[in-house]
Amino acid sequence: MGRIVVNLEPGTTPARRKPRRWGRILALVGALILGIIILAVAGVFLWLRNYQKSPAYSLALLVQAAQRNDTQELAKLMDDDEIVRNMVGRISQKAGDRYGLALNTNVKQQLDQVVSSSTPALKQTVHNEVLNEIKALGGNAEPKPLAVLLMVVRSAVTVTNEGDVAKAAVNAANRTFELMMRRDGDRWKMTGLNDEYVVQRVVDSVMRELPAIGDVDANSPLFKNPGKPRKRRK
């Protein structure tokens, strides 16, 4: 039988294998890739945090709230009182232009009463028309996810801002209009709308509450503004 010989002399243990060079390179490459991924994620996070404070992001939130009829969110993103104040002058002028020479003192007084920034009916009319315009910006189909609306806003809206005031030029449905916005904390609130189409629709609604143009008697003493009585010639 063969014998098993165990060498107990010091300094005769088997030599360890040296780690291969490619293993170190692979570990270094892995650490480098991991570092790049971490930096990329951090960069995207910081960019998103900054973008969420932009007018474009608030506009996308406004479109989403309009499509969902979220009244609480709309109240945070729309200043109805300021929108009406910015629009009431044009509404009054357009309504008066429709009467032309038939705009007598009596009709002018009624017009001033109907077209007032404090009139609840006018506020509601302007709110509804503006809301329809905002909804149309995101499409008239079912409500869309915020990510889709962000892309829609990014492609259809050009935003310029100076300090706490911003203007958004919208190019949609083969026409253009302009939104005014104001910074409100970390968000932006809509404060005005320059859109002749919306103004004309509001004027159409206002005219229903005023005397019909054909019913104004041009021969009535009210047709002319009262002035000093003329002296009769002798």
106 assigned to some structural domain: yes
Rg of the chain in Å (alpha carbons): 35
DSSP state of 52: T
Query: Which residues does residue 193 pair with via DSSP β-bridges, in sequence order?
Result: 179
pLDDT in the model for residue 229: 47
228 assigned to some structural domain: no
- The strand ranges marked E within the chain are 157-162, 165-172, 175-184, 187-194
d(CA 186, CA 66): 20
**Residue 59 sits in the same domain as residue 46:** no
**Residue 27 sits in the same domain as residue 135:** no
Euclidean distance between the first and the last CA atom of the chain, given in angstroms as a whole number: 163
**Residue 141 sits in the same domain as residue 170:** yes
All residues at 6 or more sequence positions from 18 whose CB lies less than 8 Å from its CB, including other chains: none
pLDDT in the model for residue 228: 46
Residue 65 CB: number of other CB atoms within 10 A?
22
89 assigned to some structural domain: yes
122 assigned to some structural domain: yes
Q: Taking the CA atoms of 107, 211, 99 and 126 in sequence, report the sign of the dihedral they define.
A: positive
213 assigned to some structural domain: yes
3 assigned to some structural domain: no
Domain closes at, from 30, 51, 72: 51
Angle at 97 between CA 100 and CA 193, to 5 degrees: 175
pLDDT in the model for residue 40: 79
Domain span including residue 199: 55-223
d(CA 68, CA 146): 12
**Residue 180 sits in the same domain as residue 134:** yes
pLDDT in the model for residue 216: 53
**Residue 139 sits in the same domain as residue 174:** yes
**Residue 30 sits in the same domain as residue 92:** no
Residue ranges for the chain with pLDDT beneath 70: 1-20, 45-48, 140-141, 173, 214-234
39 assigned to some structural domain: yes
**Residue 38 sits in the same domain as residue 94:** no
**Residue 68 sits in the same domain as residue 40:** no
pLDDT in the model for residue 215: 57
Q: Contact, 83 vs 190, CB < 8 A? A: yes
d(CA 35, CA 164): 37
Residue 116 CB: number of other CB atoms within 10 A?
15
pLDDT in the model for residue 161: 87
pLDDT in the model for residue 71: 93
Model-level pTM?
0.71
**Residue 99 sits in the same domain as residue 196:** yes
Residue with tokens 């002018």: 108
**Residue 47 sits in the same domain as residue 74:** no
**Residue 146 sits in the same domain as residue 181:** yes
Count how many domains the chain has: 2
Q: Contact, 180 vs 86, CB < 8 A? A: yes
**Residue 91 sits in the same domain as residue 116:** yes
Residue 226: phi, psi to the nearest 5? -65, 140
Residue 151 CB: number of other CB atoms within 10 A?
13
